[in-house]
Structure 1
Amino acid sequence: MLCYCTNVHPAEDLDGVCAQLTEHAASVRARLGADELGVGLWLAADLVAQLCADPAALGRLRLTLDDNGLVVETLNAFPYRGFHDAVVKRRVYQPRWCDPERLRYTAQCAEVLAALLPEGVDGSISTLPLGWREPWTRDDEAAARHNLDRLATALSELELRTGRRVRAAVEPEPGCLLDDVDDALRWLRGTDGTYLGLCLDTCHLAVSFADPAAAVRDIEAAGVDVVKVQASAALHADDPAAARAELARYAEPRYLHQVRELAADGVLRCDDLDEAFRRLPAAGPWRVHFHVPLHWTGTALRPTTDVLRRTLQALPDPLPTVEVETYTWSVLADPPDDLAAGIAAELDFTRELLDQRSAR
């Protein structure tokens, strides 16, 4: 299923989430002329706890989805809360997987998703790559492994109890403990592949300057399942020195924008765009972790949608859920006047890529 992620919307309580589904998601569906629209829900921690404790609240969410022709197969459980605060940056990686609160939140997300899934459909939950790379101790490592093992057990018990299978998908991201696909594969070896797999975010893949076809081959060789694909695009600058003024328009205070420069002897790294201006030589192309709209066309800058296209082409059938995840509309250099129109255009763009894949 193709869907879009609702972490683009700031609401974190039930009233706000129901309103965003009615006002924004339903509008996207209408613009596409579709009877149904897939949405990948982001539900903040306090709301998930409420939905687990209050059947009436969960029923209201389900009714809102049904009334607006919206279908849910996946949740984005990477952000915990406060994803649209004035400054998010590295707080998005809290709590880490060594913290029992991360386990509690993710298990509760699975409970909610199991109640929302269409009949006969497996669900997926994307989650953070353990946490930011530092600080991290051996005790943290052991606790994270223990908590992910406990999550797999909880997902198994959930399936036995409800008949609904929900799988967790670890999402590698530059700068994190699982920085890239190779890191994630090393971590996932030996875990319960029935319930734990990989979320392949094509913006993150692009920032790493990874070869999508080679990454997919490595994933298959490791015996790890791609449980979910996040269709996203990074910013690419062929000549970052010449494009500095344009790049500077994307140096905003809310989110972390990791930068990688392709050099003759490897890939140079910085943790944010402001830092990259000070530290990187800008002699080779840059890729910036800034989720830009998939259909966007720039001048000195361009989106890495070719990485998305090549990833979709490389993945075997059947494809997992494909979730368009451009959460940065509100902090773009030129924010749109009509958010629903922009999301609909992204979904149309991705559908064309999926059609091209089917015709290969």
Structure 2
Amino acid sequence: MRLRHPDGSTVHLAYCTNVHPAEDLAGIHGQLSGIAARVRNLLGTERLGLGLWLSQHAAADLLARPEELAGLRERLSELGMEVVTLNGFPYRGFHDEIVKYRVYTPDWADAERLRHTLGLAEILAALLPDDVTDGTISTLPLAWRTGWTAEKAAAVAANLDTAARGLRDLADRTGKTIRLGFEPEPGCIVETTPQATRLLADVDRDHLGVCLDACHLAVGFEEAAAAAGLGLPIVKLQASCALEAPPGSQDTLKAFDEPRFLHQTRSPSGFTDDLGEALAGGLPMGERWRVHFHAPLHAAPPPPLTTTAPYLREVLDALFGGPAPLTRHIEVETYTWNVLPGAPPDLAEGIAAELDWTRRQLAALGLKEL
């Protein structure tokens, strides 16, 4: 969806397709004509924005077969969909039975992460609508924190320089500017926005910046206004909510301790890599917990649990409530629908409800759907 900010600029709202398990082109086309088409119809919108996730296999296939890339672009247009942003964080196998720490590999010290990301940039430049010249890609926050060495830091710095050069070359060749957003996440080398400001201080700011994930910021107990004013370009916002458990209610989180994804958990006095560790005594029960479990934006979990939806509203206000938007790309990224406790949801209805919730929050800030 496209919305007009009061300053006249266009803001793009999309949902992230990493909620879907497809790893190949046939599966991606099935997503588009299936669930994504239903989401568009439920919303009644002229253009449905997609934050496309392409596995390494699918991306390599598109790069090797230009006719498939052209066909994907044509199919998106036929279905009333558009892509201005990619989620380049998961590399492959994002819906395997167990993902956990594997989602952080290959990291930015690995030449394969660089190669894959520059390939995604080539694909995005080809998929952008004719009237859009700027695209964005979100990516992991350099690396998971363990195993970090001076040699690894040097390799990361070299790869970031090469990435910036590649993006500049792409802009010169195509007229399309693709920007890369590193996504601070609890437990990673770039864990918070202050760390991002320090560790990314010397990057090419025309092409490299940050992707703010509201769930991650909430788990870090970061102030919304401070995160929005971190001093680096905000390439993209991932609109997401964390789970929150009030003091003494943590037993109700057991249903969310599932084996596929990593659910970093923080209280005001401590941190664990995963929810199971916290429940086993890693965090004090007498404190409020926030859990990296991307909860639906529009719906509350069973009480006494809540979500950080009020915090997400603060983030939206900080980024879009001022005289000009601080970013122009918003991606609703609730990839956990299939591991929520209880009966399987109607995925299209859930995604449509999240997008509608988000556009209503933006409308309250003065943005109008185009």
- Normalising TM by the smaller chain, what interval? over 0.9
> Are 1:126 and 2:126 an aligned pair?
no
For structure 1, which runs of at least 5 residues remain unmatched after alignment? none
Q: 2:194 aligns with which of 171, 182, 186?
A: 182
Give the whole-Å Cα distance in 1 for the aligned partners of 2:299 and 2:345. Answer: 15
Q: Which amino acid aligns with 1:70?
A: M
The answer to whether the Cα contact below 8 Å between 1:95 and 1:102 also exists between their aligned partners in 2 is yes
> Are 1:337 and 2:341 an aligned pair?
no
Partner of 2:118: 107
The answer to whether the Cα contact below 8 Å between 2:99 and 2:261 also exists between their aligned partners in 1 is yes
Give the whole-Å Cα distance in 1 for the aligned partners of 2:165 and 2:239. Answer: 29
The answer to whether the Cα contact below 8 Å between 2:241 and 2:295 also exists between their aligned partners in 1 is yes
The answer to whether the Cα contact below 8 Å between 2:239 and 2:312 also exists between their aligned partners in 1 is yes
Give the whole-Å Cα distance in 2 for the aligned partners of 1:250 and 1:37. Answer: 30
For structure 2, which runs of at least 5 residues remain unmatched after alignment? 1-11
Q: 1:273 aligns with which of 272, 275, 278?
A: 275
> Are 1:22 and 2:30 an aligned pair?
no
Q: 1:286 deviation in Å? A: 0.2
Q: What is the aligned length? A: 349
Give the whole-Å Cα distance in 2 for the aligned partners of 1:203 and 1:24. Answer: 24
Q: 2:305 aligns with which of 297, 301, 308?
A: 301
Q: Which amino acid aligns with 1:296?
A: A
Q: Deviations over 1:105-139 (max 9, x none)?
A: 00000000000011242100000001110111111
Partner of 1:138: 150
| Alignment TM-score, normalising by the size of structure 1 | 0.95
Q: 1:335 deviation in Å? A: 4.6
What are the residue-to-residue correspondences of 1:78-97 with 2, within 5 Å? 78-97=89-108
Percentage identity across aligned positions? 52
Counterparts in 2 of 1:226 and 1:194: CA distance versus 1, 3 Å: same
Q: Which amino acid aligns with 1:15?
A: A
Give the whole-Å Cα distance in 2 for the aligned partners of 1:334 and 1:304. Answer: 21
**Cα RMSD between the aligned structures?**
1.1
Q: Deviations over 1:151-200 (max 9, x none)?
A: 01000000000000000000000001111111111111111000001100
Question: SS state of the match for residue 214, structure 1?
Answer: helix
Q: Which amino acid aligns with 1:306?
A: P
Give the whole-Å Cα distance in 2 for the aligned partners of 1:337 and 1:167. Answer: 34
Give the whole-Å Cα distance in 2 for the aligned partners of 1:164 and 1:175. Answer: 34
Give the whole-Å Cα distance in 2 for the aligned partners of 1:80 and 1:132. Answer: 14
Tell me: higher relative CO, structure 1 or 2? Use CA pairs within 8 A at least 6 residues apart: 2
| Alignment TM-score, normalising by the size of structure 2 | 0.92
Q: 1:260 aligns with which of 246, 262, 266?
A: 266
What are the residue-to-residue correspondences of 1:153-172 with 2, within 5 Å? 153-172=165-184
Moved more, 206-215 or 284-293: 206-215
Q: 1:323 deviation in Å? A: 0.4
Question: SS state of the match for residue 249, structure 1?
Answer: helix
Give the whole-Å Cα distance in 2 for the aligned partners of 1:268 and 1:5. Answer: 30
Partner of 2:292: 289
The answer to whether the Cα contact below 8 Å between 1:40 and 1:323 also exists between their aligned partners in 2 is yes
> Are 1:249 and 2:255 an aligned pair?
yes
